Amino acid sequence: MHKRGKIILLLLILIPFILCGCWDEVIVEKISFMTILGIERASQGNLKVTYGMPLIDPDVKGSRVELLDTETNLLRMSTEFLDKRASKELLAGKIQLLLYSKELAGEGRIVGINSVLERDKTNAMLAWIVVVDGSPRSLIHQAEENFKDKPITSTYVNSLLERAVRLGNINETRAFNYDLISMAPGIDNTTPMIKIADNVIEVTGLALFSGEKMVGSINAQDSGLLMAMMKTLKHKKYIYNASIPASSKETYSEKLSSAINLSQNSKKINISIKNNKPVVDIYLDLSGYADDYKWDHLNNQNEVIKVSNYVQEQLRQNCQKLIGYMQFKKSDPIGIGDMVRAKHNSYFKSVDWHTAYKGATITAHVKFNLIEYGDIQ
Amino acid sequence: MDKRKNNITSAQLMGLIVSIQVGIGMASLPSNLAAICGHDGWISILIYGIIITAVIALIIKLMNRYNNKSIYEINKFLYGRYLGGLLNLLIVLYLWYSACLSLRSYINYIHVDLLRSTPSFVLCVFTLIPTCYLAWYGLKYITRFAQMIYLSIGFCLILFLIVFSDLRLNFLMPIAQSGIEGIKASYSPCIFAFLGYEVISVIYPEITNKPKTMKVVIGSNIITTIFFVILVLVTTSFFGEEMLKKSIYPMIKLSRSYRAPIIERMDVLYIAVWLPAMAMPISGYFSVTYYSIRKLLNLKKKAIYLIVFTLITILLSNVPKSISNIKVYTNIMTISGTIFSIFLVICYLFSFIRKKGVKTHA
């Protein structure tokens, strides 16, 4: 045989082995992509796990998602177990949502359970970490059984969360950043919180963590202010429900309130250590558009200043109240501890940060300008 | 040996050195540094980069003192036939050891991140097929392939740019917290990452435009240093030192953490671009070792020797069995590489005492 012939023959034998797509093909119709996982506490320290996989089989009528429940000691073992029950082979690479129950989050078990996502490269590290007020299993089942007018639960919740991020109601918390913040000293996690209410799923706000444990929660309105203090409110469409100066005759809500679209200009945090205690000043520079305001006066400069000052004081008070709540819960999502670690490292090393944070003097300073007021005289 | 097939230009030399240094060194460099000196790894890299540049300058000065000679001939001039021969044998063994360890580290990377159950032996065979193919033809073809490293580095820099808004500069503070002790302790991962420059002492006679060699080799070390500094800065400020310590290969984790529009999973693209780049130290060390053996033993029937050499390399690369095992062997390579570099500097100084073979105008 000629030399060239030998080479061609050798290549013909080798090529099928190199093209792994030919021998290790994955047919989409024969597998189930897990898109949503509900995890909650079970007896004896175990986990109740619920898996949701969209059905893409045209032969299956009436159901959009295959739901599987089990109780297990490890997340990986639940996949192993449910693989024996599922209609198709389970694949974890497309998980969009990991729903944890509030109780499980309170026990500080999320980061431990998440280790499977970091260890096994086929898992999606971009899945949302979400805390459910109630039972994740019940939420997934109720949503699939009752919400026929809505998309499948994973798509529905995913869309809700992405919108809530755009509206400045929650921080985007994916598995990878949840894990790294859990390990970083001087900064605590927040995760979106959802619940089921009146045939809908609602994003209620943010769950607050102290170390690995969930310690409290704040509503969507306060979440926006927290994001302003974290400097993540930029380019968001956050609407602040403000009270406005009103005369004593005005009693209806449309005369007493205004919807203000807040935007963040800048944030500055000054930190010093006085009498062995951190003294923190948070300066927020915000501006806003009055999206909804009564029919009066906003073409008058004095009136604009009056409204601005009024809203500014409210924002300051709300921020201060929020800081007080977070200090009480020993939760530091702003990362003040991280800044103390960076600037006053010896002090940071000498104290237990969460205790020092609780006793810190933290003051919010807010500057607010109403910059536009619509096409009304 | 067909001389022309081994002749390389200065630009090709630059690509070869960068590819050997960056290839496998970058995979675990940030996490190794985080474990030793916390968030100050970038300072260590910068300092060791400068030290290595000085060492490279001395190596090139040594080569310039002799007329178109490699370290193998220089050893015979300086230390005589027998001692020189022994030293040459040690150099070849070092290069071979580096080739085997690079192959083993690469296979381990594939095991951890991609093909968990594929036997190492099978992966070794398939990894070495393109390397053998290129080594068969000569150094020129290896160095041409090595130019692909710039594509991989470019891709990495784009990835760094797109995750820029997620970086937390506070994670890098306070600067220089680990102090001199941290810099001293980070010697091992830093030197291991920079190894690859020493091949210049072996392939120097094959460089076509020698006057540019000094500029080119120092340039390649500067490229590597800048890339490593950016790499360590980005991974540290993205993950934080605590998370970085827990990771083995942070770059793949970084690519998994970015939600790319349309392609969705960036890690797939990262693997496609970086796998060939990470295999470059194997092809570099493999071809330089094969070139050295052929040159020293003056072998003619190259097909038989190449097959034998490949088989032995595959067998030796399967000696380390675990990640912790590889770390031990990596430390041996770091120490050997350091000794080799010091030896080259000593040769330079010794060449002023024993002037046999030195160019008259040098």
B chain contacts of residue A18, beta-carbon cutoff 8 Å: 126
Phi, psi of B246 (to 5 degrees): -90, -5
From A125, A183, A335, residue closest to B256, measured CB to CB: A125
Nearest CA to A194 among A333, A99, A95, A54? A99
Which residues, including other chains, have CB under 8 Å from residue A80's CB and lie 6 or more apart? none
Partner-chain contact A179 B168, CB within 8 Å: no
From A14, A118, A185, residue closest to B242, measured CB to CB: A185
Q: Are A50 and A67 a contacting pair, CB within 8 Å? A: yes
**Test mutation, A176, A231, A334, chain B, max B CBs within 10 A:** A176
Q: How far apart are CA B153 and CA B148, in angstroms?
A: 9
Phi, psi of A250 (to 5 degrees): -80, 120
Q: What is the dihedral of CA A117, A118, A119, A122, to 10 degrees?
A: 60
From A125, A184, A341, residue closest to B257, measured CB to CB: A125
CA A263 to chain centre: 20
Q: For A123-165, how does the pLDDT look when each residue is reduced to its tens digit (9 = 90+)?
A: 778 889 999 999 999 999 998 888 888 888 889 999 999 999 9
Chain A: give the shortest CA distance to residue B361, in Å. 51
Q: What is the pLDDT of residue A25?
A: 63
Nearest CA to B6 among B159, B169, B202, B174? B202
Partner-chain contact B256 A341, CB within 8 Å: no
Q: For A29-44, how does the pLDDT look when each residue is reduced to its tens digit (9 = 90+)?
A: 778 888 899 999 988 8
In this structure, which topology does domain B3-350 adopt according to CATH? Answer: Amino acid/polyamine transporter I (1.20.1740)
**Test mutation, A24, A180, A338, chain B, max B CBs within 10 A:** A180
3-state DSSP call for residue B251? Answer: helix
Chain B: give the shortest CA distance to residue A100, in Å. 21
Residue of B nearest to A11 (CA): B129
Q: Are B238 and B31 a contacting pair, CB within 8 Å? A: no
Please give chain B's pLDDT, 362 residues, in tens.
Answer: 555 678 889 889 999 999 999 987 788 899 999 999 999 999 999 999 999 999 999 999 999 888 788 999 999 999 998 999 999 999 999 999 999 999 998 888 888 777 877 888 888 888 888 888 888 888 888 899 899 899 999 999 999 998 898 899 999 988 888 888 988 999 999 999 999 999 999 999 989 888 888 999 999 999 999 999 999 999 999 999 999 998 888 888 888 888 777 777 788 788 888 888 888 999 999 999 999 998 888 877 678 888 888 999 999 988 888 778 888 999 999 999 999 999 999 999 999 988 887 777 65
Residues of B with CB under 8 A from a CB of A: 112-114, 126, 129, 166, 168, 170-171, 173-174, 177, 238-240, 242-243, 246-247, 252-253, 256-257, 259, 265, 267
Q: Sketch the domain layout of chain B as residue ranges.
A: 3-350
Q: How far apart are CA B273 and CA B153, in angstroms?
A: 9
Instruction: Say if A345 is an interface residue toward chain B (CB within 8 Å).
Output: yes
Q: For A273-308, how does the pLDDT look when each residue is reduced to its tens digit (9 = 90+)?
A: 999 999 999 999 988 888 777 666 666 777 778 888
- For A8-28, give the secondary structure using H, E and C: HHHHHHHHHHHCHHHHCCCCH
Which token pair is B262? 């349309």
- Flag whether the ipTM exceeds 0.90: no
Q: What is the pLDDT of residue A3?
A: 80
Instruction: Say if A26 is an interface residue toward chain B (CB within 8 Å).
Output: no
Q: What is the pLDDT of residue B275?
A: 84
Chain B: give the shortest CA distance to residue A185, in Å. 8
Q: How far apart are CA A43 and CA A138, in angstroms?
A: 17
Instruction: Say if A184 is an interface residue toward chain B (CB within 8 Å).
Output: yes
- Domains in chain A (CATH in brackets) are 27-220 (no CATH), 237-377 (3.30.300.210)
Which residues, including other chains, have CB under 8 Å from residue B151's CB and lie 6 or more apart? B273, B277
Which residues, including other chains, have CB under 8 Å from residue B5's CB and lie 6 or more apart? B137, B138, B139, B140, B141
B chain contacts of residue A118, beta-carbon cutoff 8 Å: 246-247, 253
Residue of A nearest to B238 (CA): A180
Partner-chain contact A184 B246, CB within 8 Å: no
pTM (2 decimals)? 0.87
Partner-chain contact B174 A185, CB within 8 Å: no
Instruction: Say if A179 is an interface residue toward chain B (CB within 8 Å).
Output: yes
From B177, B242, B267, residue closest to A183, measured CB to CB: B242
Q: Running along chain A, 377 residues long, what does each successive block of 10 average in pLDDT?
A: 81 70 64 88 90 77 79 85 81 85 93 82 82 93 85 90 92 90 93 90 94 93 92 86 73 73 84 92 88 69 82 92 95 94 92 93 92 69
Q: What is the pLDDT of residue A248?
A: 62
Q: Are A226 and A207 a contacting pair, CB within 8 Å? A: no
Length of chain B, please? 362
- Mean of per-residue pLDDT scores for chain A: 86
Instruction: Say if A212 is an interface residue toward chain B (CB within 8 Å).
Output: no
Residue of A nearest to B253 (CA): A118
Partner-chain contact A121 B252, CB within 8 Å: yes
Q: For B299-316, how does the pLDDT look when each residue is reduced to its tens digit (9 = 90+)?
A: 776 788 888 889 999 999
B chain contacts of residue A338, beta-carbon cutoff 8 Å: 168, 170-171
